[in-house]
Structure 1
Amino acid sequence: MRLDDTSTWMTYLNEGAQASAIMHVLFVDPRQADGVPDSSALLRGFVAERLAHHPCFQRRIVRSPGGLGSSHLVVDPGFDIADHVSVEALDPSLTWAGFCDRLVAIRHERLDPQRAPWHVMLLTGVPDGPGIRPGTMALVVRTEHAVMDGGASAAFVRALLAVSPLVPARPPTTDSGSGARALPLPPATVVAASSIAEMPRRALRFAASIGQARTRSGSGGAAVEGLEGRGPRAATDPAGSGHRFFVVTTSLRAMNEARAGIPGATVNDAVLALVGGALRRYLLEHATLPEVPLRSIVTVSTTGGTDGRERLIGNDFAMVIFPLRTDIEDPLERVAAIAGASGRIKTALADGPRLHGERAMQAIPPLFLPRALSLLGRLQRRRTPGTQAPAANAVLVNVPIGPGPLALGGAPVYRSLGVPFIEGLGVAHWVSTLGDDMTIGVLARSGSITDLDSYQGAFAQELAAMRAGASPAGN
């Protein structure tokens, strides 16, 4: 099974990444059902039954020889489900802050690239936290980003936890993996020949993407307020090696209220305004608020039409920079300004084939990818000498799990959250929704957000101001 160009590209990029997995955390109430799979053996059987038909269940990534062409997913003859499913009993004295630290530690554990690109861990004895029910368990689901983007990883979670299985179950494979039919790897010469045959297609795509990019840059286009020039430097830019994590809880209803009456505004616009307001409050209290609005990297799905089936593997997204409008004090005015900017950004993104720069990079044979990135970095430094201003100050990822319901062996899942990436940034935010419940998981470097309690309080204050429709005090 050949992976698409984006997935192949990310396979090679992720080699040097500290952690390249997408991480969902699902909170389960075991008191509402009997027979919850809370032991290693029971959980392995449950996972194997639910995921037996998923294309990644017993397959691993194999790169092309010499990095000349696409990566492939092949059946792993040594597959052992025990390598992918585990149960951990948390220390009864653990606090909610300690639990968040444990999630950060799991987030930094890399998935083994020689094994199937997923892992499921059940944490029992979750301590009291915001909206957490007594006796709660947490199911941590990690999937390799090179194989599954946010949408595909959410589909993986739904396949695992759907109340009604999405596909007919088949007998689970044994722990030794003997239930898998191992497909022999194609000879290296065959894969190499296939990779070489791909090169003309890649060359044509590269040339076309560069030509389209030149045409776009020459045709101008409407400027987006808040994105002109370089981004600002801020006290929240990358600093420190440690990481801290906390969770903001709200609802889809609250975000819909915040965008009500603002033409064209989306829930994502309201969340961006919330993050911008929280950063504004934090900087006003602890540092200096830059006059230029802070910016956030936002992941945007570029999936086109669908035939009604969920996409289970592959990457189909772009990373776009949005203004957070931290220069605007009133939260609803900030929503309106962000909505106007996002409309123009989305129009530019949809005008023709995806982002041409990304398409060009994907067309480069993976062997030459590190050199191409190094060259782009040198060219950027030459164009903007003497500046260390970042392209963005934060990141925001929105991966809805869906309306539900979801359950683990009959025990309902009542809350979901995600632990985001933070490579190269000081603070990252992951928005997760399950039904009406919404969480924002915030991961920050220790030197970027030095007072985590204050930043968490800034979210609460901004949420209250948005819902009241009143201007915040600011200082």
Structure 2
Amino acid sequence: MDDIPMAAEDGLWLRIDRATNVLGIVSVLWTATPVEPVALRRVLSERVVDPHPVFRHRPVLDGGWLPAGTWEEDPDFDLDRHLRVESLPPGRPDAALQERVGQLRSTPLDLSRPPWSVHLLQGHGEGSAVVVRAHHALADGVRMIRLLLALLDPLPGASADARPVATHGMDDVVADLLDGLRHPWRSLGAGLRLTVSALNTALDTVEILGWVNPRTAWTGPPGRDKTAAWSEEIPLDLLAGLAHEDGATVNDVCLALLGGAVARAHESELNGPTPSNLAWMVPVNLDPLEAGPPERLGNHFALVLVVLPLRGPFRARLAEVHARVERIRHSWEPALTHGLQQLIGRAPDPVAGAVSDHLANKAIGVVTNVPGPRTRMALAGAEVTGIVGWAPCSADQVLTACIVSYAGGVRIGFGVDRCRVGDARVLVSALREELAAVVRDHRPTHRSPATGSATTPARSTR
């Protein structure tokens, strides 16, 4: 099998990898019944390794001044080396799983082999848990999650309904220009959209260049140890009801809740002043939105800076989040930042490292939003009961958060640096308190489209 050329965009993630922030994408799912190792191995072989030969290759970077790299076939490739079967300690299965995920997030991937692994953890209650790790150089988070979902099958008697994976969409300047040229009567609307996008882009650029995250007790170089935890399932109807009242989106609601949770955790653990705003890096999908496995891997996404409010009433924070996200969505910031990522990927190591760290350190961390299947799915015949997954942090970032929807529910997960932030469960507890306070104060009702009956939001508990 021939070597595979490595795109500069992919090689960048290898060059900025470090022991204190391992650039691995980590996904976790758990099942109602045990997953058989032989069945999981067959699914991995048929749906991951065989269709995507890069999973048989290891990365090789040229040590020269200008970046270059290839994916070199591993002559000793053995799928069993990448699929590892373990047993969780008895008792408190969720805590044991979260502890193991934290350990895996702390562990560098072996770059002398294809940099990915699947850990089948037996003894998670009555079922199993599966942790998938892959280096960011193999694929971006959107493509890796699509690949993970491609391992799943509909339950017997159900139809597959996996919505496309994305975070935020963006305006298409080329489409607007072509629309105006082909249909002159639409040129006014296209011109207005282009003007709005240009103004928003200018505002976003000024904000990015000038933004410096306020210092907190979490600020500083991270350590090697990481922790991970996630919420119980939050009903999607609850979040949709909160969003509907203000003309916002479910994503806006989750980001507003996330900001409130960070503020609560910061105040309760540190007894110090909480800043009004903190910036996060948010991945934006640049691929056409399609369900199913990706046709190719590698990286094709943009990172945008989103400033989230932490203090103030929930409704005010929600309105602010919605306005900020809409401004980015109707701008060319994703296209510009993607172009900048490509330039950094082609720069010499000292320049690439310095610029990448400077931009990354404008944010406390990364937050992703992954819409998953709308119906229950199965992995190797075992029903999947929950999914979470994180993008990695880089430079001195200390917190990664994920918002993952699955089968009518949403989970919000946290991966944090133990040295700077501590135990991720503190953030989960703060999120639970924030959600309970919002429900208590607003109590939205949402009419279920399936039954036509009004439903009262339930509180998320651990």
Q: TM-score, normalised on structure 2?
A: 0.74
Deviation at 1:105, TM superposition (A): 1.0
Match of 1:157, SS state, is: helix
Q: d(CA) in 1 for partners of 2:102 and 2:126?
A: 22
Match of 2:192 in 1: none
Match of 1:232, SS state, is: coil
- Equivalent of 1:59, from 56, 59, 63? 56
Match of 1:236 in 2: 218
Cα distance change on mapping 1:227 and 1:412 into 2, 3 Å: farther
- Equivalent of 1:117, from 115, 118, 125? 115
Q: Is the CA contact (8 Å cut-off) linking 1:25 and 1:417 kept in structure 2?
A: yes
Q: Unmatched 5+ residue regions in structure 1?
A: 127-133, 165-215, 382-388
Match of 1:455 in 2: 427
Q: C-alpha deviations, 1:208-267, integer Å up to 9, x for none?
A: xxxxxxxx99x943789999643211233347734332211223333222221333x333
Q: Name the amino acid aligned to 1:37.
A: E
Pairwise mapping of residues 236-385 of structure 1 onto structure 2 (< 5 A)?
236-238=218-220, 241=223, 242-249=225-232, 250-263=234-247, 265-285=248-268, 286-303=270-287, 310-327=294-311, 329-349=312-332, 353-364=336-347, 368-374=348-354
Match of 2:382 in 1: 411
Q: C-alpha deviations, 1:52-94, integer Å up to 9, x for none?
A: 5321465213435444454333543321111111211222246
Q: d(CA) in 2 for partners of 1:259 and 1:392?
A: 26
Deviation at 1:269, TM superposition (A): 1.9
Moved beyond 6 Å, runs of 4+? 222-228, 305-309
Match of 1:391 in 2: 362
Cα distance change on mapping 1:37 and 1:305 into 2, 3 Å: closer
Q: Is the CA contact (8 Å cut-off) linking 1:111 and 1:118 kept in structure 2?
A: yes
Cα distance change on mapping 1:450 and 1:287 into 2, 3 Å: farther
Q: d(CA) in 2 for partners of 1:310 and 1:417?
A: 19
Q: Is the CA contact (8 Å cut-off) linking 2:154 and 2:378 kept in structure 1?
A: yes
Q: d(CA) in 1 for partners of 2:80 and 2:322?
A: 47
Cα distance change on mapping 1:390 and 1:156 into 2, 3 Å: closer
Q: Name the amino acid aligned to 1:125.
A: G
Q: C-alpha deviations, 1:401-436, integer Å up to 9, x for none?
A: 433543222111111112553442233212222222
Cα distance change on mapping 1:420 and 1:16 into 2, 3 Å: same
Match of 2:36 in 1: 37
Match of 1:457, SS state, is: helix
Q: d(CA) in 1 for partners of 2:418 and 2:115?
A: 30
Q: d(CA) in 2 for partners of 1:63 and 1:29?
A: 40
Q: d(CA) in 2 for partners of 1:376 and 1:49?
A: 36
Q: C-alpha deviations, 1:308-359, integer Å up to 9, x for none?
A: 97344011222222122113x2212211111101111233335855444323
Cα distance change on mapping 1:376 and 1:332 into 2, 3 Å: closer
Q: d(CA) in 2 for partners of 1:280 and 1:258?
A: 20
Deviation at 1:28, TM superposition (A): 1.0
Q: Is the CA contact (8 Å cut-off) linking 1:298 and 1:320 kept in structure 2?
A: yes
Match of 1:358, SS state, is: helix
Q: C-alpha deviations, 1:14-49, integer Å up to 9, x for none?
A: 366642221111111117xxxx424xx554334323
Task: State which structure, 1 or 2, has the greater radius of gyration over its C-alpha atoms.
Answer: 1
Q: Is the CA contact (8 Å cut-off) linking 2:404 and 2:411 kept in structure 1?
A: yes
Match of 2:129 in 1: 138
Q: d(CA) in 1 for partners of 2:386 and 2:304?
A: 28
Deviation at 1:50, TM superposition (A): 3.5
Q: Name the amino acid aligned to 1:339.
A: H
Q: C-alpha deviations, 1:267-310, integer Å up to 9, x for none?
A: 32222111111122233434233454222222222335779973
Q: Unmatched 5+ residue regions in structure 2?
A: 156-197, 444-462
Q: Tell me the C-alpha RMSD between the 2 structures.
A: 3.6
Q: Name the amino acid aligned to 2:235.
A: S
Is the strand fraction higher in 1 or 2? 2
Does residue 437 of the first structure (1) align with residue 409 of the second (2)? yes
Deviation at 1:152, TM superposition (A): 1.1
Q: d(CA) in 2 for partners of 1:353 and 1:223?
A: 9
Cα distance change on mapping 1:86 and 1:468 into 2, 3 Å: same
Q: d(CA) in 2 for partners of 1:70 and 1:283?
A: 42
